[in-house]
Amino acid sequence: MSARDGLDGPEELELLEHAPDPWDEDTATWLCDPPRRRPQVLVERARSIVTTNDSDDVPFRYGANAYRGCSHACIYCYARPTHEHLGHDADRDFETKLVVKVDAPQLLARELAAPKYAGEVLCISGATDPYQPLEASFRLTRAMLEVCVQRRQPVLLFTKGALVRRDADVLARLAAVAGVQVYVSIPFADPAVARVLEPSAPSPSARFEAMAALAAAGVPVGISLSPFVPGLSERDLPTLLERAAHSGARRAFMGLVRLPGAVRAVFERRLAEGLPDAAARILSGLADAGAFRPGRSAFGERMVGAGPRWELAQQIFRTFARRVGIEASDRPEPHLPHAHGRPRAQQGELFEA
């Protein structure tokens, strides 16, 4: 490592001069095509890994992320403004200056030893995708899941990364000893639309294949239909739910797209560039569904829409979910049968085998 990044941030960052190329890995077949501009990789020596939230919108208090920024480059990603705290911008920097917390597994093992985490759900994701391409090389998410198996720590996980199928074995073990719920995010059925809004994420078909592989391994899987984008998403709901059911999903949730801070400008500009004929209609639909209403940033309001258009979308979602046998929810409820009452691992067990 060399060439100190020199940016102000919560931790010290160093530029990794010769970062591994995830597209050289055996798992590259589960990644999207390499981006035209390879990202810089910045190493963070974090002091802690578990974060706490008190939001009523999400069904967990604790989260942990091994990465900052995301090369999937989704134009609507609500986490983009987090890069501004590092001195980067929420636009291209979020996608091309990626931070890797190389000590994440060790930090997680240390922090999960605290009694307060007993029986609590840990979300491994939320602020970034744990299965973005860098994970193919760094394997930090997998190592964190191994820690959770050893600690019998229940986990909730969200991803667009087809790479998650690599870890079907450890996720199945975690399901057996503590409980896990994986939500694969597939908001759009049309691969051309998905390429505009999620330019460097795996195709919808690749994500459904990953979902099926997890389900076949005994991992509880669901589909995230978030973000719902009026003018694009309505027509896809029946198809996505049917494909999810055929791929082994048993749960689904849907939330209206959120465009906090600088995200709205990124979204509107790239939407106009990628779908010029549909952009005005989509923005009008977002307004009709309550995406821009005052107060939507408050807890309890962030994930939901308002008005007849949003109510109709919910009706479509619930009707077709019921038709294909999927449990529908307004938020990502975890299916974690062992989340409470499971005995914790003893210290010595953490270093066995």
Query: Is residue 346 over pLDDT 60?
Result: no
What is the per-residue pLDDT for 339? 56
What is the per-residue pLDDT for 294? 62
What is the per-residue pLDDT for 228? 94
- As a whole number, the mean pLDDT across the chain is 87
25: in domain? no
319: in domain? yes
With CA atoms as reference, report the closest residue to 160 among 81, 74, 235.
Answer: 74
Q: In whole angstroms, what is the distance from residue 234 CA to residue 286 CA?
A: 12
- pLDDT tens-digit series, residues 102-156: 999 999 999 999 888 877 899 998 789 999 999 999 999 999 999 999 999 999 9
Residue 203, helix vs strand vs coil: coil
Query: Alpha-carbon torsion 270, 273, 275, 280, what sign?
Result: positive
Band (86; pLDDT cuts 50, 70, 90): confident
- pLDDT tens-digit series, residues 235-254: 999 999 999 999 999 999 99
Indicate the helix (H) or strand (E) that contains 92: helix 92-96
What is the per-residue pLDDT for 353? 28
What is the rounded average pLDDT of the residues 44-70? Answer: 85
β-pairing, 122-123 vs 155-159, is parallel
What is the rounded average pLDDT of the residues 202-227? Answer: 97
Query: Is residue 14 over pLDDT 60?
Result: yes
Alpha carbon separation from 338 to 46, 78, 154, 209, 253 (Å, rounded): 30, 31, 7, 27, 22
Query: Is residue 352 over pLDDT 50?
Result: no
Residue 228, helix vs strand vs coil: strand
353: in domain? no
Both tokens of residue 180?
A: 């896990």
34 contacts 24 by C-beta, under 8 angstroms: no
344: in domain? no
With CA atoms as reference, report the closest residue to 252 among 206, 305, 314.
Answer: 314
pTM of the entire structure? 0.89
Residue 43, helix vs strand vs coil: strand
Alpha carbon separation from 331 to 229, 297, 305 (Å, rounded): 16, 16, 13
What is the per-residue pLDDT for 1? 32
User: Which of the given ranges, 74-83, 291-300, 304-313, has the highest pLDDT on average?
Assistant: 74-83
Both tokens of residue 233?
A: 């998403």
**Cis peptide leading into residue 337 (ω within 30°):** no
Q: Domain holding 329: CATH number?
A: 3.20.20.70
342: in domain? no
Of 71-85, 146-160, 324-338, the range with the lowest mean pLDDT is 324-338
**What is the C-alpha R_g of the chain?**
19
Counting beta carbons within 10 angstroms of the beta carbon of residue 318, is it exposed (0 to 12), middle (13 to 18) or buried (19 or more)? middle
What is the per-residue pLDDT for 19? 86
Q: In whole angstroms, what is the distance from residue 137 CA to residue 328 CA?
A: 35
Range of the domain at 157: 2-18+38-335
Between these two residues, 61 and 195, which has the higher pLDDT value?
Answer: 195
Band (300; pLDDT cuts 50, 70, 90): low
What is the per-residue pLDDT for 108? 96
Phi then psi dihedrals of residue 227, to 5 deg: -90, 140
119: in domain? yes
Query: Is residue 66 over pLDDT 50?
Result: yes
26: in domain? no
Alpha helical stretches, state H, 277-327: 279-288, 308-324
186: in domain? yes
250 contacts 326 by C-beta, under 8 angstroms: yes
Q: How many domains does the chain have?
A: 1
